[in-house]
Structure 1
Amino acid sequence: MVDARGYSCPMPVVMVQKEVSRSAPDQLEVLVDDRCAVENISRFAGHSGYAVEIREVADDEFSLLLTKLP
């Protein structure tokens, strides 16, 4: 899991990029509290072969589930 709450872009994307490069997970949960980060991480995930499921878990707090595409 990557907890990027409290960070503004581009840090959340950088954190996700590092985790994907380090461990190439089949699934990765990412927590963010910035709508811009949701968009940028979703874009990165799509370009990196991951599907993204976005859930709003609280006001302006989101959980993104990245799942590696076959």
Structure 2
Amino acid sequence: MHTFLLVLEILFSIAIIVVVLMQPSKADGLKALMSGNSDTFFSKNKARTKEVMLARTTVILAVVLAVVTMLLDLIK
């Protein structure tokens, strides 16, 4: 059981690193503020964009990683 949880922790760690690196930087948000055009397709459909999906995936992976880490600590 310990080995299985350790492998899960490694896999989730790699997955969260990949998902975080896939997220775009937030520096382009300042450029949109300066132009004043905030009524775009992406601002209207924010729940369906790739950025939101990556952010949700990051949160889910972080919670699962925390749970697996706590289980590993309890089993020790």
Q: Compute the TM-score of the two structures, normalised by the length of structure 1.
A: 0.29
Higher relative contact order (CA 8 A, sep 6+): 2
Bigger radius of gyration, 1 or 2? 2
The alignment's TM-score, normalised by the length of structure 2, stands at: 0.28
Higher helix share: 2
